[in-house]
């Protein structure tokens, strides 16, 4: 049931978005925006300004990564795990985009709040580490990491869900992830993705690449 809920809630909208030319996370962002803001709402009442600022992104990761790791422990929930990892990738990608404007906050945030040095999450957090001047570069790298993860686990979700309809169950997560990463690597090369995106795809595809290399030898 959990596989079905997450497939309908996140994977099918992502497939639909790609089919009509929208960003992969088009239908993901409104849902996770509420999760993000809920994190602020809870922690801003209880913690410091830094924790309050980090709570939004942290809440997104908790809602994605924690259940994904649990689902990867059982073969029957590999589909759900991959969908959740795709959501985590989209959240990281969105955080990277947001991070890029930390040095020069602009625009408006949730509920129309003007973004400035006192309201921009990443301006507050990066200032604590004297990294606000590096925010654009850090944001681009973070966005690339999230983009690669989203593509790999979007593919992995499809790889997991289609065979499951015919009763096939993979023996381990790498049976799904490695072929999906190899397929994503071809796609990323085709679109001229950044080096960091290609590296991530290679790392996730490593078990398959090593297996193929051993077979050749």
Question: What is the average pLDDT value for the chain, to the nearest integer?
Answer: 91
Q: What is the pLDDT of residues 157-167, one digit of tens each?
A: 998 887 766 66
The pair of structure tokens assigned to 82 is 């991959």
Structural domain spans, the chain: 2-169
Residue-wise pLDDT for 79-104, tens only, equals: 999 999 999 999 999 999 999 999 99
Got the DSSP string for 108-156? B-GGGPBPSTTT-HHHHHHHHTT-GGGHHHHHHHHHHHHHHHHHHHHHH
């Amino acid at each position: 049931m959990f596989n079905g809920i997450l497939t309908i809630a996140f994977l099918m909208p992502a497939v639909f978005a790609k089919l009509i030319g929208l960003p992969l996370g088009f239908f993901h962002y409104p849902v996770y925006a509420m999760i993000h803001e809920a994190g602020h709402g809870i922690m801003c009442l209880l913690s410091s300004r830094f924790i309050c600022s980090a709570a939004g992104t942290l809440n997104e990761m908790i809602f994605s990564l924690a259940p994904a790791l649990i689902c990867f422990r059982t073969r029957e929930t590999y589909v759900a795990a991959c969908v959740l990892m795709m959501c985590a990738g989209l959240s990281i990608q969105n955080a990277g985009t947001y991070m890029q404007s930390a040095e020069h906050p602009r625009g408006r945030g949730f509920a129309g709040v003007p973004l400035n040095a006192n309201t921009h999450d990443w301006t507050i957090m990066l200032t604590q580490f004297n990294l606000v001047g590096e925010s654009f570069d850090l944001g681009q790298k973070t966005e690339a990491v999230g983009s690669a993860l989203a593509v790999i686990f979007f593919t992995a979700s499809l790889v997991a869900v289609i065979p499951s309809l015919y009763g096939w169950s993979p023996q381990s997560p790498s049976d799904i992830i490695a072929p999906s990463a190899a397929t994503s690597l071809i796609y990323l090369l085709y679109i001229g993705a950044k080096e960091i995106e290609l590296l991530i795809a290679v790392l996730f595809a490593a078990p398959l690449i090593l297996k193929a290399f051993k077979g050749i030898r």
